[in-house]
Amino acid sequence: MRGDNLELNNKLYSKLSAEFADFLPLLMARLQCLHDFLSEQSFGESILANPQMALEALAIVEKVVGQINQEKLLAFYGLKTDNRPDAAKIKT
């Protein structure tokens, strides 16, 4: 992600996030953009050179994690797990 693309992404994200602040696909797209930009350099250099971007990425991650209904997630994966000792032998 070079300077022009990053600037365009910043403008677009600012405009869309004003209207759709908690829209998960928007948050994930922004997180991907920040990841791409920050991963162009070595990890330590990118964090030190762009601390605001790193903090923004952390804030977005917290928003995304905050929107996860942990009870539903645990129930979903709990239903998918078969803990019986002979589970591998039983065909469903």
What phi and psi values does residue 79 have, to the nearest 5 degrees?
Answer: -70, -25
* C-alpha count within 13 angstroms, C-beta hemisphere, residue 34: 21
| Distance, CA of 53 to CA of 34 (rounded, Å) | 7
Q: Which amino acid is at 79?
A: L
Report the predicted TM-score, pTM, of the whole model to 2 decimal places: 0.69
What does the pLDDT look like over 32-89, one tens digit per residue? Answer: 988 888 777 665 666 677 788 889 999 999 999 999 998 888 888 776 666 778 777 7
